[in-house]
Structures are given as structure tokens and as C-alpha cells.
Amino acid sequence: MEMITKKPKKTPKIYTCHICDFLSSNKKDFKKHILTRKHTNNVKNPKNDNKKTPFVEYQCIYCCKKYKHRSGLSRHQKICNIDTINSVDSLPFYGNFNDNTKKPQNEMSDAKDLKIKELELELLKKDRELLRDKLKNKDEIIDILKTKGNGNTNNFNNCNNKITLNVYLNEHCKNAMNLTDFVNQIQISLEDLEYSKQNGFAKGITNILSKQLKDLNPTERPIHCSDVKRLQFYVKDEGKWEREGANEKIDKTIQNVQRRQLKKLQDWEDVHPGWKNSEILLKEWQYMCMGITNEIKGTDKKSIKKNLSGKLNLKNEIKNLN
């Protein structure tokens, strides 16, 4: 008995159009393709291989053959099957065709995603630092603007105060006495000498000037204090108001009052003709001289001005005027 052997199935012949990337095992279909408009256009206008286009590969799951277009792969798989493969071992190794096939790609994808996340975190960190710097600069800018704003406000207030002072002095105090005239009309009494003897030189002169200024209406006074803390005065002399920088005119006024007290001492001697022969009167004369003839020091001048500043406060006078 003869054994019947099965003849191996012949592999069909593949007709390929490289211009159109067309494959077919049917010769008639291939001839039809040659006559199509697509093929004719591709022959007349061949594709520029130098043109850079995104390249995507489509791979056959049976023979691992690769195609540029999905349509080419689809046509190929219709005629390709496992019978066309002589041996699986003869195929190039692309990994097992199961879920594990994606493992290397997944690992690469995971690594890529991790790198992207690291970059995003780094960018986020830089953005936070940049935002922090901007906020810091913003705070600094706000502080600068506040300082400038306060400065502008202070300048504005100073301007307003200056205008108010000038208006008050030049308008309301335009008939005030000149300082020279005021000093010349000061009258020293024996009571003033007695006060200086008991309270000292500085308080004695303060007492004399305070009484003389108090007798005048505030708008007639030749001296006003604009800043009690800094002892800044405005003085009228020679018909105009001026701010005293070094208080020279006020210092001269203090010296002038001292000389007037010395002259008044002569009146006391005239009232007590035998004072040289009286121990009591002689001691009184000596104490009186000590109270009015001491050397004028800087501390004495400052003390006198400080005592006068409260009585000549220009701000209070303006408030009372309003």
C-alpha cells in the first residue's frame, strides 16, 4: 500500500508597486491598479524621498514585515498567514507576542515619564523661587512707595504749615513790633532785680521777657516759636519776618536785658544810699549782683529759649485764631 503524501501549499506570488506601495497576489488586481488615477499621478509626480515626513512603521504580526502605511499592512495580512512561515525559530526575535511584549516599551515609557515629572518639578521649583523673589521685590517696592508716600505727605504738610505760618505772620502779624523796638521799650523794675536775686540769672531774664511779651497782643509780638522741640523761632525786625537760624537776634536780646538789669542796679543804690555801711544791705547788693552779672553760657541761653518757647507757641496761636 502506497502512502499518500500531502503536497506543501505553494506560497502565492506577490505583485508589488513600489511607487504606490501596493501589494497584491492577484495579477488582475495588480493590472487594475496600474490603470488607476492614483498610480498614474504617482508616476507623473513621483514622491520626493528627500522631503522629511514623520515616519511610522506598521508591522505584520505573522512575519514581522514592516510597512510605511496601514493600508499596505492590511493588504499584506490578507495573504500572509502562519503557513507562510517555515519556522518560528527562523524569525528575528522581537519578543513574545503577548502582554509581556510591551514590557520593555513600558519600562522606557515609565523612565521617560519619570524624567518628565522630574523636569516639571524642577520647573515648578524655579517658578516658586521666581514668584518668591517677585513677592519679595513687591514688598520692597510697597515699602519704598510707603516711605515715599509718607515723605510726600510730610512735604505736603510742611508746605501747608509753611503757607499757614507765612499767612499768619505776614497777614495777621503784619503790625507786630520790630524786635529792636521791643527791646528798647523794656522797663526793668526793682522787683525784677529781686526776682533775679532769688531765682537766678536765667529765670530772671525769662521772667522779664515773659512779662513784656504777655503785655502785648499775640499778633503784636516780635517773636514766635514754630517748633517747641527744636527751639526754632520767627523774629520780626526791620519790618519783615525771618526764621532764626542760629538765634543770633534772640541771643542779643538776652544780652541786652542783662545790661539793662545792671543799669537798674543803680536805681536800687539810689533808693538805699547807705547800703555800703549796712551789712544787711551790702549782702543784699552782693547777692543781687550775683543774680544779674553772671557770665551768659550756652546752657543759660538754651534754658531761657526753652522757657519762652511754650509761651510763644505759634501753632497754639493759629488754633486760637481759628
Q: Which domain holds residue 77?
A: 15-42+54-98
Strands (E) located in the chain? 15-17, 22-24, 58-59, 66-67, 223-227, 232-237, 240-243
Q: Is 105 domain-assigned?
A: no
Per-residue pLDDT of the chain (322 residues; tens, 9 = 90+): 445 555 555 666 788 888 888 888 888 888 888 888 888 888 877 765 544 444 556 777 666 677 778 888 888 777 775 444 444 343 343 444 444 444 445 555 666 667 677 777 777 777 777 777 666 666 665 665 555 555 544 544 555 555 578 888 888 888 999 999 999 999 999 999 999 989 988 999 999 999 999 999 999 999 999 999 999 999 999 999 999 887 789 999 999 999 999 999 999 999 999 899 999 999 999 888 888 877 788 888 999 999 999 999 888 888 877 6
Distance CA 106, CA 31 (A): 44
Q: Are residues 90 and 226 in the same domain?
A: no
Q: Is 159 domain-assigned?
A: yes
Q: Are residues 29 and 80 in the same domain?
A: yes
Q: Are residues 199 and 260 in the same domain?
A: yes
Q: Is 74 domain-assigned?
A: yes
Q: Is 47 domain-assigned?
A: no
Distance CA 97, CA 102 (A): 9
Q: Is 309 domain-assigned?
A: yes
Q: Are residues 60 and 76 in the same domain?
A: yes
Helix (H, G, I), strand (E, B) or coil at 247: coil
Residue where one domain finishes, among candidates 139, 172, 205: 172
Q: Are residues 90 and 151 in the same domain?
A: no
Q: Are residues 160 and 193 in the same domain?
A: no
Distance CA 198, CA 204 (A): 9
Look-up of cell digits 536785658: 257
Q: Are residues 60 and 164 in the same domain?
A: no
Distance CA 224, CA 206 (A): 15
Cell of 147: 516711605
Number of domains into which the chain is organized: 3
Q: Are residues 125 and 256 in the same domain?
A: no
Q: Is 2 domain-assigned?
A: no
Q: Is 104 domain-assigned?
A: no
Q: Are residues 211 and 279 in the same domain?
A: yes
Q: Is 149 domain-assigned?
A: yes
Q: Are residues 259 and 127 in the same domain?
A: no
pLDDT at 102: 44
Q: Is the pTM of the predicted complex or chain greater than 0.95?
A: no
Q: Are residues 181 and 285 in the same domain?
A: yes
Q: Are residues 65 and 191 in the same domain?
A: no
Distance CA 309, CA 89 (A): 115
- On whether the CB atoms of residues 201 and 292 are closer than 8 A, the answer is yes
